[in-house]
Structure 1
Amino acid sequence: MNKPILFYDGGCPLCRKEIAHYRKLDKANRIQWDDIHQSSATLQQYGIEYSQAMQIIHAISEDGKQLQGVSAFICIWKKLPYYRHLASLVYFLRITPLLNRLYLCFAKRRYKRRCSENSCHISDKQ
């Protein structure tokens, strides 16, 4: 069985902090953490453009399905202690669409702020 892959921006201080928290919980090494700031090679294998991954978090599920936004988070939450309960609750309450709208508002602001300083070098990674 394949591990889910989470693509994250390791050049973003907030993203690094959040992923460090998740990785600390991932003692069983159930998730492949892929820092797209370091390399976009795995993104290319899955046909995901660097600019897309910088704008919205992406994951690849265990069965190879490409996920974005809150669905990507839920994919990894299912593999993490404590967070697996949150994933179940979100699914049970059917609030994924609401959370995704909120996440997309956040992601848009994060991307604009992060890349307005030209520190994401999108043209260099494609």
Structure 2
Amino acid sequence: MDREYCEIEAFYDGDCPLCRREVNLLKRFDRRHKIHFTDIAADDFDPDVYGKTQSEFMEEMQGRLPDGSWVSGVEVFRRLYSAIGLRWLVAPTHLPGISHSLDYLYRHFARHRLKLTGRCQQGQCTVKPPQDKVHS
């Protein structure tokens, strides 16, 4: 897929079952290939390439726009759903009460998604570390 023609590059946690389900849904509806998906849990993902840390990518959904600027959190989802032609669904999310509620709920989910998706054991929530990179 050519990233030049994408409206957004979405960085998602491929180890999160709910995140994967959402991405798979978006991929099915992205018939014009407006979205490029990058799995931050993939063995070959290197956050340094993007000038961010793995922790920054894990804190909340990140999106990179064609001009190189970044959006995060609920704004990424607004851009994703707009890219697949569901602007009518996105429009109400800008209303003050709805916008604030969505931001709050998403931040809560993002902060606790490891526990909510069964990736914590005995009170320890861990993610697999990125593969060691060989730098020459």
Please classify the TM superposition score into its range, dividing by the shorter chain length. Answer: 0.7 to 0.9
What SS does the corresponding residue of 1:78 show, helix, strand or coil?
A: helix
Structure 2 unmatched ranges of 5 or more:
none
1:97 to 1:122, Cα distance in 2 relative to 1, 3 A: farther
Could you state the TM-score of these two structures normalised by the residue count of structure 2? 0.76
2:129 is equivalent to residue 122 of structure 1 = yes
Per-residue deviation, residues 63-112 of structure 1 (Å, max 9, x unmatched): 3221111011112111013x322222212x23333311110011111034
Structure 1 unmatched ranges of 5 or more:
none
Alignment coverage as a number of residue pairs: 122
What SS does the corresponding residue of 2:56 show, helix, strand or coil?
A: helix
Could you state the TM-score of these two structures normalised by the residue count of structure 1? 0.81
Aligned counterparts of 1:100 and 1:8: Cα–Cα separation in 2: 17
In structure 2, what is the equivalent of residue 51 of structure 1? 55
In structure 2, what is the equivalent of residue 101 of structure 1? 104
Structure 1 segments, 4+ long, off by >4 Å, are 123-126
Cα deviation for residue 62 of structure 1 reads: 2.8
Identity of aligned residues (%): 30
CA RMSD of aligned residues (A): 2.3
Structure with more helix by fraction: 1
Are the aligned partners of 1:6 and 1:59 in contact in 2 as well (CA < 8 Å)? yes
| Residue 85 (structure 1) aligned to one of 85, 88, 103 | 88
Are the aligned partners of 2:9 and 2:65 in contact in 1 as well (CA < 8 Å)? yes
Are the aligned partners of 2:81 and 2:87 in contact in 1 as well (CA < 8 Å)? yes
1:63 to 1:96, Cα distance in 2 relative to 1, 3 A: farther
Q: How do residues 1-126 of structure 1 correspond to structure 2 at under 5 angstroms?
A: 2-3=5-6, 4-38=8-42, 39-41=44-46, 43-81=47-85, 83-91=86-94, 93-94=95-96, 95-112=98-115, 114=119, 116-118=124-126, 120-122=127-129, 124=131
